[in-house]
Amino acid sequence: MSDIDNKYIKVTENIYTTPATRLEFRSDLRPAHTSMMTCIALPRELVFIDCGMNKKFAAQFREDMETHFGRKTSYLILDHMHDDHYMAMDVFKDVEVIAPEIGVKSFEVDLKSPDEDYEQMLEDTAKLYSDDEDIAKTIKDAELFVPTKLVKEKLTIGPEGNEILIELVGGHSKDSMYVYFEKDEVLCAGDNIVTCYAQYVFDTKIIDTYKHWESMSIKHVIAGHGSVVKTEYIEKVRKYFEELLIKLKELKNKNLSAEEVAAHPDLPVYFASKEDFWEEGRKEHTGWINYITKYWYEKYC
C-alpha cells in the first residue's frame, strides 16, 4: 500500500477522499468535525469537491493529489455554501471555483457588507472549533472570495468520456448540489447523505432525489460527512424518510403537538443509530432526528 493510500481513502483509481480534518487524526477520525474533501483525476487535470475548514490540511491534500497524479488542479466545486465546506477555499484561489448560484448570492452580500449576524456566525463557528488550533486559525485568517462559475440548475465539466455532472437538488439546503462521475460510478452526495448522524434535510422532495440516485449507475457514495458507502445506503435513508413521513401524517390526525410526536413510540428508529461514529447531532443541537421530525411534522403534515 502506498503512502497516499495510508493517508487518504482510495475510492477508485481516479478518486481519493478523506473524512479527516488533520493527517494526525487518521487513526481517530472525527467524521462530523468538518466536511469530506474529494479529488477526481481527469486525464489532464484534477477536480476537487469541497475544501473543509482546515487550510493546512486542504493544502496538503491538494499537494499530495497533484504529486500522486502528476496533474494540476483546474476546479474546486463547492456543493453548497455552508462554512464547513468552503472556509479553506483560498487554497484554491488560483483555479476556477464552481458553486450554486442561489447560495453564492447571499454569500456575496455577506462578504461585501458583513452585518452583525454574519460576524456573529464567524465568531460562533470559531468557538465551536476552538479545540482544533488549525481550524480556529483558518477561520480567523480566512481569505474568502466569490466563486467564479455558478450553477443555476446543472453543469457538466470534463472531456468526453470523463464528464462530471453537477446538479442542484436542494434538500439539506436550498443550494445543495451533488456531483456525479459516471465513468467511475461515484456519487458525491454532499450533506444529503451523511453517515455519522442522520440526514439534516428540510425538504421532503429529497425523497425523489434519493429515488433518482437509486436509478443511476452508482457503486460508491461519498458522504458529505462520515465515510464512503455503497448505493444500498441511499435506499436505507430513503425508506426511513418515507416511513417517517407516513407516520407523521398518521399522527397529525391525532392532533398531537410537535414535541409529543417527536417522542412518539410509533416513529421509525433511524437505521444507523447504532453504527460506529454515530452522533444524533452536533453538541450545539438537541438531536437532529428530533429536530427534523418536528420540522417535517409542522411544515408537511
Domain that holds residue 32: 3-233
Same domain, 106 and 131: yes
Q: Would strands 96-100 and 149-151 be described as parallel, antiparallel, or unpaired?
A: parallel
pLDDT for res 150: 97
Q: How far is CA 204 from CA 40, 62, 119, 200, in A?
A: 30, 36, 31, 11
Residues 264-277: tens digit of each pLDDT: 999 999 988 877 66
Segment 196-218 mean pLDDT: 94
Kindly state whether residues 193 and 286 are assigned to the same domain.
Answer: no
Closest CA relative to residue 129, chosen from 12, 257, 34: 34
Same domain, 138 and 249: no
Into how many domains does the chain fold?
2
Rounded CA separation 210/16 (Å): 23
Q: Is 167 exposed, middle or buried (0-12, 13-18, 19+ CB in 10 A)?
A: middle
17, 118: one domain: yes
Region 14-35 average pLDDT? 64
Residue 155 sits at φ, ψ, to 5 deg, of -150, 145
CA distance 46 to 68: 11
Question: In the prediction, which pLDDT does 28 show?
Answer: 42
Kindly report the pTM of this predicted structure: 0.93
The pLDDT score that the predictor gives to residue 27 is 40
